[in-house]
Amino acid sequence: MVRRNSAYVWRRVVLLLLFLFCLTFIVSASNPNSPEGFLIIAHRGASGHEAENTMAAFEEAERLGSDFIEFDVQLSKDRKLVVIHDDTVDRTTEHTGAVDDYTLGELEDMDAGKSSNSDKKDEKILPLQDVMDRFAGKMAMLIEIKDSKLYPGIEEQVAEVVRRYEERLNSTDLKGTRHLKGIGGVENSAGIIIQSYDFESTRLIHNLLPNIPVAALIHEDQHPLSDDTLDALASFTAYIHYPKELLDEQTVQKIHDRNRKVIAWTIQNDEDMERMKELGVDGVITDYPG
């Protein structure tokens, strides 16, 4: 009888321990700020290694295991979406002038490797569709809409491309790749986040693509954000992307209190990376992923 009671007690202890383990796992998995959800976002691709916003930079970010590639979109003269950060081609190519002074074909003929220290040459300015085609279902993407006031209607064009991307993800060929690393916890996400400094542009994207998470990019001169501004942003954004120099525990906590994620930009070294982790941010945008 004593032996039977002892076995019964041990079974209860084991079951209790299993229950506590499972409970801990569930709480950790549901916590939006858990370390397991820390995102590494490759800024303009792995731009510390390859020419920014080029296929070489994006493929290097993929090789290094980044969760996202981040890139910028502008409009060409013939109103095609192209991947380039500046509104001119001066810094990254051997040409000069505004991006929208050139057609898509003319932009594609430019060498986009001027700003890189890499030995690789002949990296091209890319149409947005080429990036989507290459990485659809393979890597998550953070798309930044640049100069929305310079390009009226750019939000609608981006939304149309993303809708086509969603349709591809729902096709038979890509169903198995939907749960991309780093994006699984974002409800109804197709592996895309869209960001902008322009809050109205971000709100418009949210209205056009209600199932795609959007992020508000915070400029240095907007800090500190008032509680009213944070409340307004939380009504339509999933992420708030903040300059690393201005982040502190209070700012991170205010964003988390509104059940939104905070991403720090732009991280360039291990010291900054460790500081951001100590602050409890949800991820970083960095030139040096991996």
The catalytic site residues sit at 43, 85
Cα(234)–Cα(239) distance, integer angstroms: 8
Cα(234)–Cα(238) distance, integer angstroms: 7
Can you tell me whether residue 78 is helix, strand or coil? coil
Strand residues in 132-203 grouped as ranges (E): 140-145, 192-196
Cα(239)–Cα(64) distance, integer angstroms: 24
Buried residues in 76-96 as b, exposed as e (16+ CB within 10 A): beeebbbbbbbbbbeebbebe
Cα(82)–Cα(130) distance, integer angstroms: 9
